[in-house]
Structure 1
Amino acid sequence: MDSSNEQQPASSKPTNDILRLPFWSRRLLSNKNEDHQIAYSLQVKGATEGGIRWAIYSTILCGMSHLYWPFFRKQTLAFKAFLVSSATMSGMVIWADYYLLRHEKKIRRADDMMRRQARKGKTSFPLSPTNLGERGIIATETELDKWKQEQLASIKNQTKPPIMKE
């Protein structure tokens, strides 16, 4: 049996040569314009989703009220449209705010993790410079910005080990 003609099946497990970055490292690479664009697109998505949901719910509720409640049946079409559009606008505002608050919470959590990492003495980057806690520096915003730039430079300088072919 000639093993040179047989091909080894590709392993489905990820290799260990992939550079693993911490959760908060994405914040090192982002800037304010990018953050604003992400927040805006999330608000648009939330407003669209909320508007559609609440429009459907309010239309169904108006239809059910029209069928089963004689007082509501006597109301004008303009008033019923006003109720549906008011519910739609409320849904848009509520869901856009929900998406924005969720995004802000995620950003705040990542920033807190990054600040905690800067104050701590340990780092998850093998080639990174020492952290502020090891240097005896108070973690002010200015020092944190300098630390972020050092971490970013450290990430850019890291190279993946070459993949060995068999």
Structure 2
Amino acid sequence: MSSAATRARREEDVQKAYDIQVQAGIEGAARATAVGTGLTIIGHYTWPVFRRQKLPFKAFLVSVCGLIFGAERALLEHEAKRRLEENTIRKLARLELAQKGIVPTETEIAKWRAENEQ
């Protein structure tokens, strides 16, 4: 497999991960805003320490935390899925190369992948 093909596949993976992270961040921020607004109201009326906090700080807690946690969760799920797919492909390549009597080095696995992707 040429380095250009490898680079293109990696750039595609990076772009897909970015898109997943952005979408999950937006959804997480919306969910946190919906749930966090209610919790902020409850906290404001029941907890004096929270009541003394300024409104911008409360808004920051409500929206940014959901954005960060939502995006991070989605990215970790995507990375785990990609790692599983990559390990499956590499396992299959090692098995087929070993059956042919070829030592499954990184170069040979890359060649096998290039042949089988076509």
Is TM-score (shorter-chain normalized) higher than 0.5? yes
Displacement of 1:139 in angstroms is: 1.7
Return the offset for 1:100: 0.7
Q: Which has the higher helix share?
A: 2
TM-score normalised to structure 1 length? 0.59
Equivalent residue number for residue 55 of structure 1? 33
Q: Cα RMSD (Å) of the superposition?
A: 2.3
* Equivalent residue for 1:144, pick from 85, 109, 117: 109
Rate the CA distance shift 1:61–1:110 in 2: closer, same or farther, 3 A: same
Residues 70 and 111 (structure 1 numbering): CA distance in 2 closer, same or farther, change over 3 Å? closer
Identity of aligned pairs, percent?
Answer: 32
Q: Partners in 2 of 1:142 and 1:49 — Cα distance?
A: 41
Structure-1 separation of matches of 2:117 and 2:50: 65
TM-score w.r.t. the length of structure 2 is 0.81
Q: Which runs of 5+ in 2 are unaligned?
A: 1-5
Residue 99 of structure 1 aligns with an amino acid whose one-letter code is A
Please list, as runs of the form range in 1=range in 2, the aligned pairs for 1:8-157 lying within 5 A after superposition.
31-66=9-44, 68-69=45-46, 71=48, 75=52, 79-120=54-95, 131-153=96-118
* Count of matched residue positions in the alignment of Structure 1 and Structure 2: 112
Q: Which has the higher contact order (CA 8 A, sep 6+)?
A: 2
Over 4 Å off, 4+ runs: none
- CA pair 60-106 structure 1, distance change in 2 beyond 3 A: same
> Is contact 2:43–2:51 with CA below 8 Å preserved after alignment?
no
Larger Rg: 1
